[in-house]
């Protein structure tokens, strides 16, 4: 049994905040932000909830897949910005979609959340515990920002992306080939939010940068090597979209040409768990994802958590 990719969808809230807009509320500038991060703008919610963003991304994926909502039996929503302490935001998405037969739960691995959720859905599908899954990354990172802290508030944005995956008996090489996940809780204090000491997002930027470049490259190589591939075999590397300097650094270290290394951080900023499916869906909408493509997704986030998934379209 394999977990085969069927379709993707995404949604960005309409309100756009540019670097110039931000410079009016914090002591910063496009001249500082863009060269260090590659970010030009971010989308920010007005009254949309995380469930709203996720629901629209799923509706778009369902439409492309040609599935009805009640044919879905598993919904996994990766988010660090749930709408309530409980119930899970995934349960609200289930209701809003009308996916009445799906078990639905949230997954919290911050910026690695989508890779953790893909890996979990893959286990359900391969084990025959589900047939059709929606795997979502959805975030309102704007709710976790201190808008007076220029060191963090310029880096994040809101949005959602979703994959429709289906269990299929096939001898062809297609679908999720493998995922490798890691957690190192000893580094929990370098990036956190919601504690007494740090009610909003706190980040030791240099430390996060150091871990991100080393670990995303390492785990991407590991997932390729373990499955008999090299970097030369991949069609695209789609890393977590936090900082274009991190993304380009990983691509260069892996010897990949620029057109294989996907970066959408310029327009989205860091949307945490939503960043990978958003970047992917943008490629899909542009007609750049084809049957047979071999794609590595890799992410690192608070925890710290990191991982990589290998997908054959
Ligand atoms: C955030 C990041 C771009 C900061 O770059 P940096 O070169 O490390 O910058 P520093 O934080 O050391 O700050 C350098 C100076 O710029 C200032 N600065 C910070 N943010 C600023 C901003 N938005 N505008 C203007 N100046 C800013 C600092 O106050 C500091 O000034 P000082 O030297 O007078 O004290 C970089 O560390 C980074 O990308 N880290 C990884 C972030 C990430 O990917 N996080 C998510 C992972 S899931």
Q: What atom in ligand 1 is closest to the CA of residue 151?
A: 20
* Amino acid 245: pLDDT: 97
Q: Do domains 2-168 and 175-312 have the same CATH topology?
A: yes
Token reading at 5: 């990719």
Substitution site in 151, 154, 216, 244 for ligand 1 pocket (most atoms within 8 Å of beta carbon)? 151
272 alpha carbon – ligand 1 mean position (Å): 18
Residue 193 to residue 202: CA distance in whole angstroms: 6
Tell me what the mean pLDDT of segment 213-241 comes to.
Answer: 98
CATH topology for the 2-168 domain: Peroxisomal Thiolase; Chain A, domain 1 (3.40.47)
Q: Encode pLDDT of 239-277 as tens digits.
A: 999 999 999 999 999 999 999 999 999 999 999 999 999
What mean pLDDT is reported for the chain?
A: 97
Substitution site in 209, 265, 298 for ligand 1 pocket (most atoms within 8 Å of beta carbon)? 209
**56 confidence band (pLDDT: 50, 70, 90):** very high
* Amino acid 48: pLDDT: 97
Could you tell me which CATH number the domain at 175-312 has? 3.40.47.10
Tell me what the mean pLDDT of segment 275-292 comes to.
Answer: 98
What is the set of active-site residues?
111, 240, 270
Q: What atom in ligand 1 is closest to the CA of residue 272?
A: 48
- What are the extents of the domains in the chain? 2-168, 175-312
Reported pTM: 0.96
* Amino acid 230: pLDDT: 97
CB 243 within 8 A of CB 270: yes
* Amino acid 66: pLDDT: 98
CB 48 within 8 A of CB 57: no
Q: Encode pLDDT of 97-146 as tens digits.
A: 999 999 999 999 999 999 999 999 999 999 999 999 999 999 999 999 99
Reference 184, options 205, 156, 214; nearest CA is 214
* Amino acid 19: pLDDT: 98
Q: Encode pLDDT of 146-178 as tens digits.
A: 999 999 999 999 999 999 999 999 989 999 999
């Amino acid at each position: 049994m394999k977990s085969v990719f069927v379709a993707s969808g995404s949604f960005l809230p309409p309100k756009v905040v540019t670097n110039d807009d931000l410079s009016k509320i914090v002591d910063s500038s496009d001249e500082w932000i863009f060269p260090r991060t590659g970010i030009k703008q971010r989308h920010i919610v007005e009254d949309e909830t995380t469930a709203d963003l996720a629901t629209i991304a799923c509706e778009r994926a369902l439409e492309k897949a040609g599935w009805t909502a009640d044919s879905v039996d598993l919904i996994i929503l990766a988010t660090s910005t749930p709408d309530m302490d409980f119930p899970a935001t995934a349960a609200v998405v289930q209701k809003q979609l009308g996916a009445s037969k799906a078990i639905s739960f949230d997954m919290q691995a911050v910026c690695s959340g989508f890779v953790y959720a893909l890996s979990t859905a893959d286990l359900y599908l391969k084990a025959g515990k589900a047939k059709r899954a929606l795997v979502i990354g959805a975030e309102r990172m704007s709710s976790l920002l201190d808008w007076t802290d220029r060191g963090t508030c310029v880096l994040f944005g809101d949005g959602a992306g979703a994959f429709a995956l289906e269990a299929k008996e096939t001898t062809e090489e297609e679908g999720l080939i493998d995922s490798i996940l890691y957690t190192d809780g000893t580094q929990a204090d370098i990036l956190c939010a919601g504690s007494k000491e740090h009610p909003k997002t706190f980040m030791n930027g240099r430390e996060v940068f150091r871990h991100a470049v080393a670990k995303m490259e390492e785990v991407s190589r590991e997932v390729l090597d373990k499955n008999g591939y090299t970097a030369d075999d991949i069609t695209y590397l789609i890393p977590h979209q936090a900082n274009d300097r991190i993304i380009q650094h990983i691509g260069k270290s892996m010897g990949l040409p620029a057109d294989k290394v996907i970066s959408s951080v310029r327009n989205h900023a860091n949307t945490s768990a939503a960043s990978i499916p958003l970047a992917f869906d943008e490629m899909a909408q542009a007609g750049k994802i084809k049957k047979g493509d071999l794609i590595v997704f890799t992410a690192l986030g608070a925890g710290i958590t990191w991982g990589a998934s290998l997908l054959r379209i």
